[in-house]
Amino acid sequence: MARKVIITCAVTGAIHTPSMSPYLPITPEEIAQAAIGAAEAGAAIVHLHARNPVDGSPSQDPALFRQFLPRIKAASDVVVNLTTGGAPTMTLEDRLRPAHEFSPEVASLNMGSMNFGLYPMLGRFKAFKHAWEEPYLAGSHDRIFKNTFSDIAHILQSCSDNGTRFEIECYDIGHLYTAAHFIDRGLIKPPFLIQSVFGILGGIGAHPEDVLHMRRTADRLFGDAYQWSVLPAGRNQMSIGAQAAAMGGHVRVGLEDSLWDGPGELARTNADQVRRVRGILEGLSLTVATPADAREILQLKGGANVAF
């Protein structure tokens, strides 16, 4: 039987700003349509942030999530994954509001505090539509994304009470060891999804050897108790996705992680990227997982057990 590969699509995120691409989903209507389109193209999971519909700034206001979550659920059986990362400018309490209120099947969880450098984008984008954009990017030169051991334990305990499982985001090798620490404490239970993130300034690089190092270390720490996926940022999205798929992994794409659909060509939709990576997977004789497959592989609680 062909191995089934889960495609996660991260629809809008908090990294890119509206001025970087006219195709970035901003309003609840755009986010809903982008998620539904990604699911129709083959994504089994959609990872969701919200944005202020007026200026596109990152927001964790549950009222905004409430405008698109029921629409996505009514149109698709796709697995919904809500962020607990939000944006580095937010408090932990704000970041957790959507996951606590809506009890999703999956929530993202960064395995540590880290430098999160977005400021190099200022060299590529000179004109901005909204006053918040340039300071937001520039401020990352002296800003830390905070997730202490106490923060991580609180997220795990408070969300697990609702039956939510986690996309465990590991931006460096040390984050794998942090995940192992929480497994030893019994706060993360198998099967768990390790999402290795490549190419963010402040984390591990995007060289093929970095991918191999992440995979080898995760195998040694977690054995057969985990599922491995990759989140390659920017131009490395498809090449690392192909490498990881060939190595037995799952893949994440989407406009949160990369604005591109080929060299110099902006992706017009999230579905564009899903279709591109789906073609790569099928070219490797792999089967793209359905939402039902993803629920079985990750042992999720099911779409009937969320609060939206």
Decide if 306 contacts 80 (C-beta within 8 A).
Answer: yes
Predicted local distance difference test score (pLDDT) of residue 1: 59
User: Cα–chain-centroid distance for residue 114?
Assistant: 17
Instruction: Specify if 308 maps to a domain.
Output: no
Q: Would residue 307 count as lying in a domain? A: no
CB 68, CB 31: distance < 8 Å: yes
pTM of the model: 0.97
- Domain annotation covers residue 160: yes
Specify the number of domains making up the chain. Answer: 1
Structural domain contains residue 41: yes
For the stretch 140-163, pLDDT in tens is 999 999 999 999 999 999 998 899
**Predicted confidence (pLDDT) per residue in 12-67, tens digit:** 999 999 999 999 999 999 999 999 999 999 999 999 999 999 999 999 999 999 99
Q: Is 56 left (phi over 0), alpha (psi -120 to 50) or beta?
A: left
HSE-up (13 A, CA, CB side) for residue 23: 18
Query: Whole domain around residue 112: which residue ranges?
Result: 4-302
User: Is the residue at 276 inside a domain?
Assistant: yes
- Of 140, 166, 163, the residue nearest 152 (C-alpha): 166
What CATH number is given to the structural domain containing 206?
Answer: 3.20.20.70
Query: What is the chain's pLDDT, residue by residue, as a tens digit (308 residues)?
Result: 578 999 999 999 999 999 999 999 999 999 999 999 999 999 999 999 999 999 999 999 999 999 999 999 999 999 999 999 999 999 999 999 999 999 999 999 999 999 999 999 999 988 999 999 999 999 999 999 999 999 999 999 999 889 999 999 999 999 999 999 999 999 999 999 999 999 999 999 999 999 999 999 999 999 999 999 999 999 999 999 999 999 999 999 999 999 999 888 999 999 999 999 999 999 999 999 999 999 999 999 999 999 99
Would you say residue 39 lies in a domain?
Answer: yes
Q: For residue 92, is it within any domain?
A: yes
Task: Specify the pLDDT at position 161.
Answer: 87
Q: Is residue 202 part of a domain?
A: yes
Q: What is the dihedral of CA 15, 10, 273, 40, to 10 degrees?
A: -150
